Copies of this chain bind each other. A is one copy, B any other.
Amino acid sequence: MVITSSNNEKVKYWGRLKLKKYRDQENLFLIEDEHLLKEALKKNLVKEIITTNNELTYDLPIYYVNDKIMSLLSSQVTSAKIIGVCEKIKERAYQDRLIILDNIQDPGNLGTIMRSAVAFNFDTIVLSNDSVDMYNPKVIRSSEGMLFNINVIRTDIKSFLNNLDSSYLKITTDVKGGEDIRKINSDKLALVIGNEGSGVSKEVASLCDKLVYLKMTQECESLNAAVAASILMYEVYHG
């Protein structure tokens, strides 16, 4: 049976998962496209599958919908052909390499930082409560599936920094100066990255041990937040 009505209760339920509020309430999110769904399946996170391809079968509850319903559920201009309803990923204990994001708003930046964090062996992203939701479809897409390979903890980052063991060197960036990132050396490290427009908030910066900077020409005031985060993680990884 193919679902064709936007008044169908299931369709309304899935549709609500496009909003953070309902994702939080239901502890679920939607994942679009086959290559990302595959990653979610590997992690046993998929509860239900929604597809326009009525020849598909999975060892999971599967719902067939028409193109109209799919375009309601998909976040893309050219709709996905398959969507998985997934359980949110469980937060794990953090280890030695943390990146802390203070009010990151751009979904592309968060997804890109996830990707770079996996590439450069950071184990955990600590996401401030006021940052963009990691289950935003654009975040998922720009993470290229790496959201399944990185631990993300969403929390009050001020309390987090206050309670973080002193064996962690807490660093953040400053455009005006600071220590060259290449001179930083610590087994345990927490790198704090600020908001795209306003940078790291003063209160958060005051909880850090050191300011670091990336040498650049004077013509450019600052780098894109995901680029700055990635270069710093790259430098920490390369030691």
Listed in ascending order, the chain A residues whose CB lies under 8 Å from chain B are 108, 112, 115-116, 118-121, 142, 144, 146, 149, 214-217, 219-224, 226-227, 230-231, 234, 237-238
Q: How far is the CA of A118 from the CA of B238 in the complex (A)?
A: 24
A238: contacting residue among B115, B116, B121, B215, CB under 8 A: B215
Hey, which chain B residues are within 8 Å of A234, CB to CB?
A: 214, 231
Hey, which chain B residues are within 8 Å of A230, CB to CB?
A: 223-224, 227, 230-231
> How many monomers of this chain does the complex have?
2
Q: Which 3 A-B pairs have the closest CB atoms?
A: A119-B220, A119-B216, A118-B220
Hey, which chain B residues are within 8 Å of A231, CB to CB?
A: 230-231, 234
Nearest B residue to A221 via CB reads: B144
From residue A119, how far is it (CB to closest CB) to chain B in Å?
Answer: 4
Q: How far is the CA of A108 from the CA of B109 in the complex (A)?
A: 10
Q: How far is the CA of A215 from the CA of B235 in the complex (A)?
A: 11
Q: How far is the CA of A221 from the CA of B145 in the complex (A)?
A: 10
A sample of 7 cross-chain residue pairs with beta-carbon separation below 8 angstroms, ordered by A number, consists of A112-B224, A115-B220, A116-B227, A118-B220, A144-B222, A223-B230, A224-B230
From residue A171, how far is it (CB to closest CB) to chain B in Å?
Answer: 17
Hey, which chain B residues are within 8 Å of A222, CB to CB?
A: 144
Nearest B residue to A182 via CB reads: B238
Q: How far is the CA of A217 from the CA of B117 in the complex (A)?
A: 10
Hey, which chain B residues are within 8 Å of A115, CB to CB?
A: 220, 223-224, 227
Q: How far is the CA of A142 from the CA of B231 in the complex (A)?
A: 18
Hey, which chain B residues are within 8 Å of A119, CB to CB?
A: 216-217, 219-220, 223
Please judge, given known A-B contacts A219-B149, A230-B231, whether A224 and B120 are in contact too, CB under 8 Å.
Answer: no
Q: How far is the CA of A119 from the CA of B142 in the complex (A)?
A: 24
Hey, which chain B residues are within 8 Å of A121, CB to CB?
A: 217
Q: How far is the CA of A148 from the CA of B144 in the complex (A)?
A: 31
Please judge, given known A-B contacts A230-B231, A231-B231, whether A237 and B216 are in contact too, CB under 8 Å.
Answer: yes
Assess the B120–A217 pair: CB atoms within 8 A: yes
Q: How far is the CA of A106 from the CA of B200 in the complex (A)?
A: 27
